[in-house]
Amino acid sequence: MSVLKIALVHAVVVHKQPQTNRRELLALVQEAGEQGAQLVVAPELMISGYSFAGHHDMEPYAETAEGPTVTAVAALCRQYGMYVCVGMAELEPLTGILYNSAFVLDPVGSIVCRYRKINAECRWACPGDPCQDNTFDTPWGRMGVLICSDSYHSLMARVTALRGAVLLLIPSTWPPIGVNPVEIWQARALENSLFIAACNRTGCDLIMDCRQAPSAFVDPQGTVVLQKQAATSQLLIVDLHLQDSGRIQPAHQSVPLPAGDLSRLRSCYLNLSGITNLTQFLQLPPPGRLLLCCHALLSPDGAPALAVAETTDAKTDTLHVLPAHAYSRNFLDEVRSRCAATGHSALFINTSQTVPVVHWLNGAADPCLWNWDTLTGGQEGRPVDCTYGPARVRLLPMQTLRQPELVLASAKEGVDVVIVLSPHFNEIIRLLAGVRTIEQVAVAVCSPEGAGIWMIPTDHQRWGETLVGPGGSCCCFLDTGKTRVKRFQERIDYSVLLQRRASTSQSR
């Protein structure tokens, strides 16, 4: 079986020392070529370093596409017959605009992709155009490029996959603070069924210590094939096994997309950046605190219902989430009785009939029932929405954990918490549920095998996480005053994301 040999230039980058950094880059790229690498990825801002006070501070270290770095890398590409992706500050000569860019050069030294970072550094860099084509073709398949924190935002990787990429290159300067970037890269691989080659840097920048920053290679199942931190420059090599045809074999021949009516995704493109009062704008219930409790019931008998209703007193708005089970009539009557007595609510799916049915019990009110499809959700693919106390709650199918579009659309429609009832609970579900909170909505997953509640992260910190094993219960207060303060990355190519498709997948 043939392989694609990939090299990650995990290099020390010295702040404001372009000649030193260029020598280091070229030496490591040459070493990669001598080891037979066919694809080389170098870090973000490899030549300049990262931290700059403004345009005037960065401009002396920016280069054009005809500058010394691209010229020297092109010569090595020709010498060794390889592709190289390198991150650097780019000066656009006609306008003087500065970009945080990545250049990809092919084996004849031609630039086959120039990607300008969209989530750009606000002190000096102009954001890239979201409609720029960040993909390029190779003999092994189409590849794409994102730079560092662009991969933090799920839809940028999604658009890249929809453009046909099977391998995503991520030049990075991601220090080892806050969320672990490897978790983000695992999620992007899982969501889009693609390989990820993420090249971080090491060394100390002006205000960042990157000596423990990880580079990684992740496969489409989210498995971390390679992960390395090093205080000194290292050349990291990974062999990607190819199909008999010599092409990269993705986990699926298509990008997994939400089933059902894709019009449900249109709220993704709404720009809410000018809305200061989301509660008033979307006519949401007044914000407040909701106690959210997930109960990982092992079996559908009636005994756990007593504990369900006695968790808190009647003065607290409390929502109990139970896993999907074939519940008995006695169980249903008992839970309904307890909700009526306490004023609490309960949400679960009863699978005892041919068609699963969602049950929403809200205090003493009559139950609300909806037929449920495990792929598309509610009737005709519509979401199941419930308003209780200070929160708008939405029940979505399990596949939603791999589909950021639906969760983002929900967040922009004012949903405070997304509920997923899953038959299983494992590390992949935990990871994807946590990453979904980056879409600016809390997430709860309940199954017989365990349950969890995840809260929206602050800045680039890791999400809050509350977990419980089989048969247990976990509870967490949800402050909807905080979930209504949402910040979205709006620079997305929605025309690619929402293009009409004949099926629920996009071939590549």
What value, to the nearest 5°, has the Cα angle with vertex 306 and ends 305 and 307? 90
Higher pLDDT pick, 375 / 182:
182
What are the residue ranges spanned by the domains of the chain? Answer: 3-256, 262-497
- CATH superfamily, with its number, for domain 262-497: Carbon-nitrogen hydrolase (3.60.110.10)
3-256 and 262-497: identical CATH topology = yes
In what order do the strands lie in the sheet containing 195-199? 135-138, 141-145, 167-171, 195-199, 215-218, 224-228
181-192 and 427-436 are packed helices; what angle lies between their axes, rounded to 10 degrees?
100
404-412 and 154-162 are packed helices; what angle lies between their axes, rounded to 10 degrees?
130
Contact, 80 vs 108, CB < 8 A?
no
Instruction: Give the tens place of pLDDT for each residue, 112-148.
Output: 999 999 999 999 999 999 999 999 999 999 999 999 9
Tell me the CATH class for 3-256: alpha beta
Q: Which of 321, 368, 324, 365 is nearest to 347 (CA)?
A: 321
Instruction: Give the tens place of pLDDT for each residue, 406-452.
Output: 999 999 999 999 999 999 999 999 999 999 999 999 999 999 999 99
Contact, 11 vs 202, CB < 8 A?
yes
Residues 6+ apart with CB under 8 A from 304: 295, 297
What value, to the nearest 5°, has the Cα angle with vertex 507 and ends 505 and 508? 140
| 465 three-state secondary structure | strand
Residues 6+ apart with CB under 8 A from 475: 291, 292, 293, 294, 311, 312, 453, 466
Q: Mean of the pLDDT values across residues 172-190?
A: 97
| 8 three-state secondary structure | strand
How many Cβ atoms from other residues are within 10 Å of residue 259's Cβ? 18
Length of the chain: 508
pLDDT (0 to 100) of residue 216: 99
pLDDT (0 to 100) of residue 379: 76
Which pTM was predicted?
A: 0.94
